[in-house]
Chain A
Amino acid sequence: MRRATTFFLFILFPIFLSAQDWKTIEASGPMLTGLKSTLAGMKSIKGDIRQEKSFAFLTDKLVSTGIFVYQKESKLRWEFKEPIDYVILINESTMRLREEGIEKKYKGMNQILRQVKEIILGCIDGSIMSNPNYKTVFSTNGTNIRIQLQPKEKNLKEFIKQIDVEFAKSGSILKKVTLTDPSDDMTDIHFSNVQSNQKIDAALFADF
């Protein structure tokens, strides 16, 4: 009996530990104040993206890879190169879309793309942290800071259930964004080779 208890404790201990990994932190605490201040001072950021979409009923994941380039205020090039060529170009109030070399009109998909724009920009510049349309929970595991956001509005809830944004505590570098669909399917976006405050060619935002 004692052996069995020890065995179960041994099995459950790592799970218990990992659940303990993330500790909730105050929105006004020094860790988040530091993160907000670093992001506020950030003029540009670029890096590689690897998006992994899981389907509840498939064993395979859909993996898309590419790059992103951001410059204040509201200039973004989000480009997937594999498995399809797909570019979202945001230049302040304008938003353009190109797929497989052809610019697409996104009539009818405006609402979705507007939400995508708000989420991407908000995650990169950190403005999503103070977006009143989301309920936010902040936590840390010591090395990373995680922001969990749940939309408050009905039309947003239909589109997304939760957004998890992770920044490295050191250097406030964006590491990962997880989007959870209302159907509980998840899309993980991993960021790597992230460089901030580098000179960015303005032409990257002007045209495809």
Chain B
Amino acid sequence: MRLFLLIFSLLATSVQAQAPGQNVEILGRGKEAIYKAEFNITGSAINGFLAVQHKRNDVLRVQFTSPMGNNLLEIEWKRGKWKKIYATKKLSGKLIFNMMTEDILLLFAHYQYDQSFEDFGNEWKWNKKTLEPVFENGKLSSVKIIGRRHHPSKTVKYKRGEDCIDELSIDHQGFPFSITLEPLKKK
């Protein structure tokens, strides 16, 4: 009986541990997409388009442009670090930049490709934070991100359509900062 329970618990753990690889993919390796984007930063909204490329080596290239095509932000996530290629003054302050770049990794669930990511089944650990994923019909529908003080600090939500994600958003609790993305291809 004990052996049976041990095998069963090991099996259950291994099934849960595989979850990020199988069900959490937002933008798969080798894929790229353009999103209509709204950044709400401390009360002012910046709208435009977010172009994202997930390279096969897990490098993430991100560019945010205005509707007129001006480059507002260009960054690259490589070997666990962000490289700022270009950022307008409004987006280059340390606090805003760090918050925004972490949010981008959270939105695209790119943390799962990071070495520091740990999967404990019902919760994940990454970047000294606890992530609580919620799945609907086997697909990731939201992730609550809990910081060091054990308060919910931000929430990522995925609105899903029939065959794709219709909207990705991240909202900070108690701080006026949010990002909302809608893929353009569905239109």
Q: Do A and B come from one complex?
A: yes
Q: Which residue on chain A has the smallest CB distance to residue B68?
A: A116
B90 partner, pick from A59, A109, A179, beta carbons under 8 A = A109
Given known contacts A51-B68, A62-B34, what 6 new A-B pairs fall within 8 Å (CB)?
A60-B34, A62-B65, A84-B36, A86-B67, A99-B47, A187-B68
A58 touches B86 (CB 8 A): no
Knowing A53-B69, A83-B184, the reply to whether A105 touches B44 (Cβ < 8 A) is: yes
Residues of A within 8 A of B (CB): 51, 53, 55, 57-60, 62, 64, 80, 82-84, 86, 88, 99, 104-105, 107-109, 112, 116, 159-160, 179, 181-183, 185, 187
What is the distance, in angstroms, from B118's C-beta to the closest C-beta of chain A? 30
Q: Which residue on chain B has the smallest CB distance to residue A55?
A: B51
Cα A63 to Cα B86 in complex, Å, equals 22
The total number of A-B Cβ pairs within 8 Å is 75
User: Does B70 sit within 8 A of A, measured CB to CB?
Assistant: yes
Knowing A84-B67, A183-B71, A185-B71, the reply to whether A62 touches B51 (Cβ < 8 A) is: yes
Chain B contacts with A in 65-110, Cβ cutoff 8 A:
65-72, 74, 85-86, 88, 90
A58 touches B53 (CB 8 A): yes
Query: What are 8 A-B interface contacts by the 8 Å CB criterion?
Result: A58-B32, A58-B53, A59-B32, A62-B51, A86-B67, A116-B70, A159-B70, A182-B86
What is the distance, in angstroms, from B165's C-beta to the closest C-beta of chain A? 17
Knowing A53-B65, A105-B44, the reply to whether A181 touches B70 (Cβ < 8 A) is: yes
| Listed residue (A80, A104, A109, A159) with the most chain B CB atoms within 10 angstroms of its CB | A109
Cα A96 to Cα B124 in complex, Å, equals 45
What is the distance, in angstroms, from A65's C-beta to the closest C-beta of chain B? 12
B34 touches A51 (CB 8 A): no
Cα A51 to Cα B36 in complex, Å, equals 16
B67 touches A112 (CB 8 A): no
What is the distance, in angstroms, from B133's C-beta to the closest C-beta of chain A? 29
A59 contacts across to B, CB distance below 8 A: 32
Residues of B within 8 A of A (CB): 32, 34, 36, 44-47, 49, 51, 53, 61, 63, 65-72, 74, 85-86, 88, 90, 184, 187
Q: For the complex, would chain A's binding face be called helix, strand, loop or mixed by DSSP majority?
A: loop
- A-B pairs, top 7 by smallest CB distance, nearest first, are A187-B69, A53-B69, A86-B67, A181-B71, A57-B61, A55-B51, A108-B90
Knowing A57-B61, A105-B44, the reply to whether A179 touches B86 (Cβ < 8 A) is: no
| Listed residue (A58, A59, A80) with the most chain B CB atoms within 10 angstroms of its CB | A58
Cα A114 to Cα B9 in complex, Å, equals 63
B49 contacts across to A, CB distance below 8 A: 53, 62
What is the distance, in angstroms, from A85's C-beta to the closest C-beta of chain B? 10
B88 contacts across to A, CB distance below 8 A: 112
Q: Which residue on chain B has the smallest CB distance to residue A115?
A: B70
Cα A59 to Cα B72 in complex, Å, equals 20
What is the distance, in angstroms, from B176's C-beta to the closest C-beta of chain A? 13
Cα A67 to Cα B108 in complex, Å, equals 34
Cα A83 to Cα B65 in complex, Å, equals 14
A105 contacts across to B, CB distance below 8 A: 44-45
What is the distance, in angstroms, from B73's C-beta to the closest C-beta of chain A? 11
Cα A21 to Cα B46 in complex, Å, equals 41
A104 touches B45 (CB 8 A): yes
